[in-house]
């Protein structure tokens, strides 16, 4: 993990990683088909509600209230969980959270755990930490299972294997799933049945389950997980010990507040009126379900984000992934190019704040992974103004480079050229010579320092004659 609280996936800063992704035609075809389908279905589901905009504003207001009084709500949640037989653990960073989960798993006598899909556990690299401690974590969400068996990396918040097609999934199952027959087809029914048979034995034998949380109700200490497959329900009811890792910001004050998000989330994420499985548990119920419940409250950079008046709105996020599905950058590069477990527009503003260091090349590159078209803001169910935060973080990234970095020196040189008409025209004439490097109207490679640009972008060839030169020639 190093010093960064967010798990980076070994990807170079965004421009280079995006350039590599753009060269993968199969990846782009998979993404285009999947995101297009989700966008269309979501639009239909949202159009059914005449008060959708009022719901968005209500979600925004509830989240802002929570963030403004987070300490009060966290103490209320801890008290309610404890009164109902649960145990609350506080984790300042990834290392503390991982150590806590590993210790609790060992105390339960388990060397294998089943997991409900969880962004928080991916954020802290929990699977890797458990493996280092001799515990094998089994992902039970179908998409997460595909990623795990394929020794791959997630590329989407809601659909981690969105970059895979059915044929690729079939091949992964044939290679990595012992119970999968060699004649397994790529039909969805067959793939689902293979995964079901593989996981059933794990559900029945697991002593410990690990989950994330979509929401936590402060008044009652209730934890809420929504999902579409039923695997989460199996994890949350069969094992004797349940460990939940939850970001500090996932709180809602009351059940009435929860009602708002149970309308916003399914329509924005899976384009459904409600989630097929909404699981709620409150502490421990003797004789029913897990008999030991542990809640790990994760900070891991969240209080740093909370201190930023502009950037804190990223903590409203309910992980619906709507912003990914409308983003033209994400559709062409996929989530792995972002190098963070949080991809897309929300990842571009959340991951850098959790890292909290704009001197980190990967973190500093993410706010630039956007065209600032604003589509993400329009679909966000809790009205996070992502473009505003992107510009805000870009300013921080620029300030972190200092006044003597290449970019600052380049801007100073440009300012000197633009300050004098003669210098400006001389630069135009010199720049027009670059057209001789073009092929089919585009320049794909420039000598240093221009190579820093063309390493990840193509440049349109400049015209032989500038507008000034044309005006002088034609109008005298």
Domain residue spans of the chain: 14-302, 412-474
Residue with tokens 């870009």: 394
- As a whole number of angstroms, the distance between CA 243 and CA 469 comes to 71
| Residue 207: DSSP 8-state | S
- As a whole number of angstroms, the distance between CA 2 and CA 4 comes to 6
Task: For strands 277-282 and 222-227, give the pairing.
Answer: antiparallel
Res 26: pLDDT: 74
Q: What is the pLDDT along the chain (476 residues), one digit of tens a residue?
A: 344 567 766 667 776 666 556 667 777 787 788 888 889 999 999 999 999 999 999 999 999 999 999 999 999 999 999 999 999 999 999 999 999 999 999 999 999 999 999 999 999 999 999 999 999 999 999 999 999 999 988 888 888 888 888 999 999 999 999 888 888 999 999 999 999 999 998 999 999 999 999 999 999 999 999 998 999 999 999 999 999 999 999 999 999 999 999 999 999 998 999 999 999 999 999 988 899 999 999 999 999 999 999 999 999 999 999 999 999 999 888 888 888 889 999 999 999 999 988 888 889 999 999 999 999 999 999 999 999 999 999 999 988 887 777 777 888 888 999 999 999 988 888 888 888 888 888 988 888 878 877 887 788 888 988 898 899 889 87
- As a whole number of angstroms, the distance between CA 31 and CA 114 comes to 29
pLDDT digits (tens, 9 = 90+) for 194-247: 999 999 989 999 999 999 999 999 999 999 999 989 999 999 999 999 999 999
Res 17: pLDDT: 64
Q: Which CATH class is domain 14-302?
A: alpha beta
Q: Give the mean pLDDT of the chain.
A: 91
What is the 3-state composition of the chain as percent helix, strand, coil, each rounded to the nearest 5? 55, 10, 35
């Amino acid at each position: 993990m190093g010093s960064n609280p967010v798990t980076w996936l070994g990807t170079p800063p965004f421009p280079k990683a995006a350039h590599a992704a753009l060269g993968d035609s199969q990846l782009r075809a998979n993404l285009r088909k999947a995101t297009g389908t989700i966008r269309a279905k979501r639009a239909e589901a949202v159009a059914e509600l005449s008060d959708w905009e009022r719901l968005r504003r209500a979600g925004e207001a509830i989240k802002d209230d929570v963030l403004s009084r987070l300490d009060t709500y966290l103490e209320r949640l801890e008290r309610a969980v404890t009164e109902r037989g649960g145990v609350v653990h506080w984790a300042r960073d990834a290392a503390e959270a991982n150590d806590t989960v590993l210790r609790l798993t060992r105390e339960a006598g388990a060397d294998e755990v089943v997991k409900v899909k969880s962004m928080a556990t991916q954020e802290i690299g929990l699977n890797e930490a458990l493996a280092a401690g001799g515990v094998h974590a089994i992902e039970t969400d179908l998409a997460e299972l595909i990623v795990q068996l394929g020794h791959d990396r997630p590329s989407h918040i809601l659909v981690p294997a969105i970059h895979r097609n059915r044929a690729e999934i079939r091949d992964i199952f044939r290679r990595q799933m012992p119970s999968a027959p060699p004649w397994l087809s790529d039909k969805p029914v067959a793939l689902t049945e293979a995964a079901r048979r593989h996981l059933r034995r794990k559900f029945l034998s697991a002593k410990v389950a690990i989950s994330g949380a979509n929401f936590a109700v402060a008044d009652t200490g209730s934890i809420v997980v929504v999902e579409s497959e039923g695997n989460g329900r199996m994890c949350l009811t069969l094992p004797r010990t349940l460990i939940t890792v939850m970001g500090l910001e996932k709180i809602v004050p009351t059940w009435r507040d929860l009602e708002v998000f149970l309308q916003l989330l399914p329509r924005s994420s899976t384009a459904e009126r409600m989630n097929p499985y909404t699981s709620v548990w409150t502490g421990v119920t003797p004789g029913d379900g897990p008999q030991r419940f542990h809640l790990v409250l994760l900070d891991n950079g969240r209080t740093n984000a909370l201190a930023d008046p502009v950037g804190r709105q990223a903590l409203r996020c309910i992980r619906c992934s709507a912003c990914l599905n409308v983003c033209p950058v994400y559709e062409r590069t996929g989530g792995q190019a972002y190098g963070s477990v949080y991809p897309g527009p929300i990842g571009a503003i959340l991951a850098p704040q959790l890292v909290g260091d704009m001197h980190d090349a990967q973190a500093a590159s993410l706010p630039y992974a956007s065209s600032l078209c604003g589509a993400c803001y329009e679909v966000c169910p809790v009205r996070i103004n992502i473009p505003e935060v992107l510009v805000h973080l870009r300013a921080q990234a620029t300030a972190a480079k200092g006044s003597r970095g290449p970019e600052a020196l380049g801007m100073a040189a440009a300012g000197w050229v633009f300050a004098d008409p003669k210098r400006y025209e001389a630069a135009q004439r010199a720049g027009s010579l670059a057209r001789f490097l073009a092929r089919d109207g585009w320049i794909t490679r420039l000598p240093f320092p221009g190579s820093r640009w063309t390493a990840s972008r193509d440049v349109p060839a400049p015209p032989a004659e500038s507008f000034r030169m044309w005006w002088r020639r034609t109008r005298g």
